[in-house]
Structure 1
Amino acid sequence: MMWVAVVAGVGLGLLLAALAARYNLWRPARSLRIPRILMYHSIRPMETATGRGEGIVTTPTQFAAQIDWLARHGARFVTVSQMAAATDRDHMVAVTFDDGYADNYRQAWPILQRYGAPATIYLAPEMSGIDPLTPAMIREMAAGGIEFGAHTLTHVHLPSTDNAVAEREIRQSRTAVQALTGQDCLSFAYPYGKLADRHVDMVRQAGFTTAVTTKKRILPWADVDPLRLPRLSMLGQMNRFEFWLTITRGRYRV
């Protein structure tokens, strides 16, 4: 019996070690009072055995469950610009979407409306290879409380782009988004999360007051640069445990 207990203990220890190696359980949980910015892309059904999304695709079922979890745990949903302008950011959560997929209107927005949750969508108005939001969808969502930010015109990789082209992509994307929404465009998202100091300067000079990255961190607002804001990646392959780890630790994998 003693050997059975020893073997069981060793087995449990190995299991815990394996979990610690794969997941960020060892990281201290961050208070839900600290504001968080979440990053999504496409929200659409997937024909998979698990019913989960893949990569940047999150299913409507996953998305609804995640928004519901946040709402039940006291989230105050805001846009990125609302978060920046607030004096009390306790429990604030900004839901963001990159690129401007039409399924943000068809699939995500009804779920957000159910919870009275605004969001921020970063448009790359001339991006190819996606089914984009139409001008009519954008106007309707903007009138309904969705903030539209800019994501360059064509989703260009800024660090490998000539400075003159990069500056033009940043400035003209703001102008294009404002023309589509009829509203001011104050927030920017760096494509691929890639940037250099010169791009931060370009974003500032273009008139943006906030900009988001893909850095996976949970930090008090006083500790972040408004033009280099971290976001938590909401990947479609995440299960509910991995989502919880991401929300509480910043990322679910080591």
Structure 2
Amino acid sequence: MTAGWLVVVWGFVGIIALLALAARYNVWRWPKPLGWPRILMYHRIQPAAANRLRGEGITATTTQFEAHLNWLAAHGARFVTVSELMAAENPAHMVAITFDDGYADNFSHAWPILKKFSAPATIYLAPDMPDIERLSPEMIAEMSAAGIEFGAHTMTHIHLPSNNDTRALAEIQASKAAVESLTGRPCMSFAYPYGKYSDKHVAMVAAAGFSTAVTTKKKILPRRKFDPLCLPRLSMVGQMNGFEFWLTITRGRYRV
């Protein structure tokens, strides 16, 4: 085969490879400036040695979590809570780290890394969520005193659209009261369980007295206007590698 034909063949192979990459990943999306604010969503943080946990989408390893914060800090991130982000006159480069549910490992494994980067976070508690090892009242009190913000996530992590309005509102209101009792501070932020809600649930959250609420919509906050009761977040899952993390931070999600 001549050199000319080799160039053609390898060019064709390269095009196919690029198309395959674009079909799987969001490399073709226009990257958003790093100066735009972002809200990151985590759930569990477990030791890096527990590699089997990488198969669980809601679990990131301590190695991953520290690498994420290190990359963000190196690129000028200003770590804040969700309430601080929403109150800021200039949210440029602000990154709010959030955790859903209130797992005990947020204290044992995530918090030491947060302290290393002087990074606050917002943890959304479902105080009576079954079948998980939850943060204890003592852990919550210690973290709250150190600047961690605690939000509400309903009492039992119910799927709001599947429940009647009376129970949905009761779960929203009760979770706010429970979090305030645990921390001794106002609870101003809410997270919709499973990211599922409708307009009436947004109205319930507002009526309960929350000023912000986060969703599971995978999107970078727009530069100017965003609804404080329907805030998007970037999902940080255990399966992602460094390239996929970079795509998520710059494009909003890594998969097409």
What TM-score does the superposition give when structure 1 sets the normalisation length? 0.97
User: Helix, strand or coil: the match of 1:225?
Assistant: coil
Alpha-carbon offset, residue 121 of structure 1: 0.0
Distance across 1 between alignment mates of 2:76 and 2:176: 33
Give matches, 1:34-183, under 5 Å: 34-45=36-47, 47-48=50-51, 52=54, 54-183=56-185
Distance across 2 between alignment mates of 1:52 and 1:65: 15
* Matched-pair identity in %: 64
Alpha-carbon offset, residue 219 of structure 1: 2.6
Distance across 2 between alignment mates of 1:74 and 1:229: 22
User: Helix, strand or coil: the match of 2:76?
Assistant: coil
Distance across 2 between alignment mates of 1:25 and 1:162: 42
Distance across 2 between alignment mates of 1:77 and 1:6: 49
**Equivalent position amino acid for 2:24 in 1:** R
Alpha-carbon offset, residue 2 of structure 1: 1.7
Alpha-carbon offset, residue 52 of structure 1: 4.4
Distance across 2 between alignment mates of 1:48 and 1:64: 16
- 1:21 matched residue in structure 2: 23
| The 10-residue stretch of structure 1 (3-12 or 83-92) with the greater mean CA deviation from structure 2 | 3-12
**TM superposition outliers: structure 1 runs of 4+ over 4 Å:** none
Q: CA deviation digits over 1:127-150, x for unaligned, max 9?
A: 011110000000000000000000
**Equivalent position amino acid for 1:18 in 2:** A
Q: Any conservation in 2 of the 1:37–1:95 contact (CA below 8 Å)?
A: yes
Q: CA deviation digits over 1:72-102, x for unaligned, max 9?
A: 0000000000011110101000000000000
Distance across 2 between alignment mates of 1:54 and 1:192: 16
Unaligned 5+ residue runs, structure 2? none
Q: Tell me the matched-pair count.
A: 253
Q: Any conservation in 1 of the 2:221–2:231 contact (CA below 8 Å)?
A: no
Instruction: Please tell me the root mean square deviation across aligned C-alpha atoms, in Å.
Output: 1.2
Give yes or no for the alignment of 1:6 onto 2:1.
no
Distance across 2 between alignment mates of 1:237 and 1:60: 13
Distance across 2 between alignment mates of 1:48 and 1:83: 33
What TM-score does the superposition give when structure 2 sets the normalisation length? 0.97
Q: 1:53 to 1:142 in 2, by over 3 A?
A: farther
**Equivalent position amino acid for 1:64 in 2:** E
**Equivalent position amino acid for 2:45 in 1:** I
Q: Any conservation in 2 of the 1:52–1:62 contact (CA below 8 Å)?
A: no
Q: CA deviation digits over 1:183-210, x for unaligned, max 9?
A: 1000000000000000000000000000
- 1:228 matched residue in structure 2: 230
Alpha-carbon offset, residue 54 of structure 1: 3.0
Distance across 1 between alignment mates of 2:241 and 2:149: 28
Q: Any conservation in 1 of the 2:40–2:235 contact (CA below 8 Å)?
A: yes
Alpha-carbon offset, residue 217 of structure 1: 1.0
Q: Any conservation in 2 of the 1:42–1:57 contact (CA below 8 Å)?
A: yes
**Equivalent position amino acid for 2:148 in 1:** I
